[in-house]
Structure 1
Amino acid sequence: MRFTIASVATVLIGAVAVLATPVPKYTGCSLSSVPFPKESFVDPNNSSNTLPYPAANEKLAKIVLGYGSQNYSCIDGTPTPNGAVATLYDLSCAFAVSPEWADVLTRGAVQMDPTAQLAGIQMLKNMFNAQFIAGVHYFKGDFATPAFEFTDKGKFIGGVAGKIPALSGADAGKRPDNFGAVPSLRLAPKQGMGSTYSTIYRLHTAGGSAPPAKCSWQGQRQIPYAAQYWVYKST
């Protein structure tokens, strides 16, 4: 499906119709009825390899769409990860319509021109008087410490605690950088960093993988990607 601003509006307007609330909501919808995505936790090439499930005392707090770039430098002819940067968008009302609609947005986001995407989000914000931006994602200076800062003042600073390949059929990315989807991850917080949330999963990834061949570029190469981040909090 081609991803357009109109398709975003359709999802958000549909969410309001489904919820039938007296006051329309375009963000901040309840996640209590969102089904647990078991299939996203299983290695598509080895069903015995899975991401660890959330703990019994963890509750789903947010689902956000991360849209940005996975960054790479070229060291001795090998693409080397230099972290990532992404803007985070509230996906809760898209999930109120259906997980399938939310997946359409995630898969399609990576295909959008960044300038058009930002202009479209601003247009939707003005149309619906809603703040779709939920935060930012970036890496600390070591390129091994992912950080998330949310507009509600929540934060998460952690590291990889589980990894499996992207789902079968995942969007390979935007041409000419369609080298494949980055893996699904479980992120755990680093102690003493003041994280508000207990676990974050990167699921339903699109794009972001490094070129598979030897590299020769100078500086940093930014590969567009998108992903769902499922954010859990200990209760």
Structure 2
Amino acid sequence: MVSTKSLLLAAFSTIAYAAPTKGPCKSLTPTLPSTGGDDLISPSPTARLKKIVIGHGIQNYTCVSALGAASPTPSATGALAVLYDVTTLYPGLSKSSLSLSAFNLLPHALLWDRPVPLNRPDNSSYSASTTSPFPAHSDLTNLANYPSLKYAGHHFFDNTGTPIFDLDVSGLKASVTKIGNVAAPKDADRGVLDTGAVAWLKLVDNKKGESKGVNLVYRVQTAGGNPEGCVVADGGNGKEKRGLGVGETQSVPYTTFYWFYEE
């Protein structure tokens, strides 16, 4: 039986790494992608693009009690991801640049080709170790139809619930807060749980004095990451329960591009 992963990768293999651009192209400059509908407010004309990375990890959720019943929508409780540098793969930025179609397919290819790169307590879920979630630093190699991706850093939420991007290889760091979000396009990759792609975000420096070299981050071209819904009961009548009960948590695999700017 042919797996969904095999079918998806086969469908896109003809436009992936086998078709890079022929060296730098001065007419192509990095431009934030569009959802095809509502879009995030663009960076200012003076903003400097510092890095484009791809993140692969998990979005975490929990269902909290509300007036004795389950909350209809799980609450987001943070994220963990390993980040890989893809700046030079953007069309026109280097001799190893990809075609735009191949570049845009990277989140999809990574999500389906590789397991979440986190230390997991067991193989029964996608949750990560609570004490040491990140494995030793390593590049991502042998991704189907793509070149090796250099390790860039980590994304996590600190003990105050603040989103952190630590790009330790380049010395960049962003401590941010969300100021904008738009829904992912309807045709975005729904992920391995078939729950949908998380929203695109605009994040800015939170003025805590922790950011270094960047103060603006965009999360775009998301794949997966949305949770299952919360449920009050198992449905009865022999119906299988699907979703989270009050107090239950869930970790959902996702991939996305993060664009880092300094304004």
Deviation at 1:116, TM superposition (A): 8.5
1:201–1:120: structure 2 CA closer, same or farther, 3 Å change rule?
closer
Structure 1 stretches of at least 4 aligned residues deviating more than 6 Å after TM superposition: 115-120
Structure 1 partner of 2:43: 54
1:204 is aligned to 2:221: yes
Cα RMSD (Å): 3.4
Q: Distance in 2 between matches of 1:182 and 1:37?
A: 17
Structure 1: give runs of 5+ residues left out of the alignment.
Answer: 21-29
Query: SS in structure 1 opposite 2:28?
Result: coil
Q: Distance in 2 between matches of 1:216 and 1:227?
A: 28
Structure 2 partner of 1:67: 56
The correspondence of residues 108-187 of structure 1 with structure 2, limited to 5 A, is 108-114=109-115, 121-122=140-141, 132-143=150-161, 145-150=162-167, 151-174=169-192, 177-187=193-203
Q: Which has the larger radius of gyration?
A: 2
Q: Distance in 1 between matches of 2:26 and 2:154?
A: 21
More helix by share: 1
Q: Structure 2 counterpart of 1:205, which letter?
A: T
The answer to whether the 8 A contact 2:84-2:139 is kept is no
The answer to whether the 8 A contact 1:197-1:232 is kept is yes
Q: Distance in 2 between matches of 1:99 and 1:62?
A: 17
1:18 is aligned to 2:55: no
Structure 1 partner of 2:240: none
Q: Structure 1 counterpart of 2:194, which letter?
A: N
The answer to whether the 8 A contact 1:94-1:101 is kept is no
1:109-137 Cα deviation digits (max 9, x unpaired): 2223416999992557xxx8x76111111
1:189–1:19: structure 2 CA closer, same or farther, 3 Å change rule?
same
Q: Distance in 2 between matches of 1:31 and 1:110?
A: 31
**Paired residue total:** 210
1:133–1:38: structure 2 CA closer, same or farther, 3 Å change rule?
closer
Deviation at 1:173, TM superposition (A): 0.6
Q: Distance in 1 between matches of 2:117 and 2:51?
A: 25
Q: State the TM-score, normalizing by the size of structure 2.
A: 0.68
1:94–1:135: structure 2 CA closer, same or farther, 3 Å change rule?
same
Of stretches 190-199 and 221-230 in structure 1, the one that deviates more from structure 2 is 190-199
1:31–1:69: structure 2 CA closer, same or farther, 3 Å change rule?
farther
Q: Distance in 2 between matches of 1:102 and 1:61?
A: 18
1:227 is aligned to 2:244: no
Residue of structure 1 aligned with 2:29, choices 28, 34, 53: 34
Q: Structure 2 counterpart of 1:137, which letter?
A: H
Percent of residue pairs bearing the same amino acid type: 27
More strand by share: 1
1:51–1:123: structure 2 CA closer, same or farther, 3 Å change rule?
closer
The answer to whether the 8 A contact 1:31-1:60 is kept is no
1:31–1:2: structure 2 CA closer, same or farther, 3 Å change rule?
farther
Q: Structure 2 counterpart of 1:147, which letter?
A: I
Structure 2: give runs of 5+ residues left out of the alignment.
Answer: 1-6, 92-97, 119-134, 232-243
1:190 is aligned to 2:192: no
Q: Distance in 2 between matches of 1:112 and 1:213?
A: 29
Deviation at 1:91, TM superposition (A): 1.5
Q: Structure 1 counterpart of 2:140, which letter?
A: I
Q: Structure 2 counterpart of 1:188, which letter?
A: V
Q: Distance in 1 between matches of 2:90 and 2:149?
A: 17
1:1-59 Cα deviation digits (max 9, x unpaired): 7349xx6xx62x754x7228xxxxxxxxx99933413524x6x3xx4xx3111012201
Query: SS in structure 2 opposite 1:210?
Result: coil
